[in-house]
Amino acid sequence: MKLPRKLSPIQLYLWMVVRRDWFTAKIEYLNSESAKWRGLFNVLKSPFSLLRAMGLSPIQAGALLFASTAAGSAVVVNETLLSGRSFARGDSGVYAAPSDIPVAYIEGDNTLLIQLNAVPVGDITIDSVTVGTAYAGSTLPSGQTNVVSVGGLPAASGFTETFLEVGTLTIDRWRCTTFLMENTSVHTLNITGVAADGISVSSVAGTARMRAIGGGNRAESMGVANSTYDQIRIEAATSGVNGQVDTLTLTNLLTKGGACVISNVIASTINVELLVVGAGDGLAAKDFVIASSVNAKVSNIHSNVEELISPP
């Protein structure tokens, strides 16, 4: 654009304003288009990124996304459909901690499944929930026998054993038909105020160190309260990768229809407090069990009583 000759100062200023506004409008338009394209690409890649965060390879993530588009009402991983579901609101589903949005859920399955891996989580709290057949219309998922399951997973074909690493695990005010802790290593084991229809504590001396889960810029905390689930599972589910959470607190759980199980845990402190456990099968059948595969450097076990207790 050529500058006209013989302009007064005011005319020159107005000429510059027109050209400035034209140029600024073009810049704003380009920035707006760029933001729209970035937003579109982020939406398109989000399901893939979430699956990769769960430990799936690029090929596995792509295959699952492809399969889910053709699966109809089976496993749903479409981000648009999942956008209304939330861990904090108590929705069931598969959560790759620390995401508040489920990465998948099975239609008709009211399981809360939290999958932990090498990304450390500061705090997970589950408070005042009813699990299993303790509420009307509930059933355990097909093939499952545990109503609550916390820990790593055992070795299997093609899968390397995992453990859940915890700073402090608090199990408080659970109502269970049976309770089992196994394959666990802990520095300090506190079991207090348990009432059970038969108690067996067979833990052995160990050398576990005190620990806390740091990791610098670790993930945000997760919490849920006052909800109902068919099952609760907190797992280190990626082959050969231990899950990590600094403080895991599960308090005031009413459960029925299966066992409450803690397995494959490595912890600094485990607090088992004020549980009521019983299947109504008499004191000879031990319904509260700390197995000999549990080892602890320090054990504080007191104020626990055996008494006849029926299922919830």
Cα-flanking dihedrals φ and ψ of residue 66, to 5°?
-65, -45
* CA 34 to centroid of chain Cα atoms: 35
Using CA atoms, how far residue 166 sits from 86, 203, 309, in Å, is 24, 19, 31
pTM: 0.72
* CA 299 to centroid of chain Cα atoms: 28
pLDDT at position 93: 80
Is there a cis peptide before residue 4, judged by omega within 30 degrees of 0? Answer: no
Report how far residue 14's alpha carbon sits from residue 28's, in angstroms, rounded to the nearest whole number: 21
* Mean pLDDT in residue range 150-156: 95
For the ranges 1-10, 27-36, 221-230, the maximum mean pLDDT occurs at: 221-230
* Mean pLDDT in residue range 81-91: 68
**Is residue 23 scored above 90 in pLDDT?**
no
Angle at Cα 291 formed by Cα 157 and Cα 300, nearest 5°?
135
Confidence of residue 72 (pLDDT cuts 50, 70, 90): very low
pLDDT digit string, tens, across residues 226-254 = 999 999 999 999 999 999 999 999 999 99
**Is residue 15 scored above 50 in pLDDT?**
yes
3-class secondary-structure state, position 7: coil
Percent of the chain with pLDDT over 70: 80
DSSP state of 285: S
pLDDT at position 196: 97
pLDDT, mean over the chain: 83
**Is residue 2 scored above 60 in pLDDT?**
no
pLDDT digit string, tens, across residues 26-70 = 777 777 777 666 665 554 545 555 555 555 544 455 555 555 444
CB neighbours (10 Å) of residue 127?
Answer: 16
pLDDT digit string, tens, across residues 267-293 = 999 999 999 999 999 999 999 999 999
Tokens of 309: 């207790």
* Mean pLDDT in residue range 102-131: 86
Cα-flanking dihedrals φ and ψ of residue 120, to 5°?
-70, 140
CB 137 within 8 A of CB 259: no
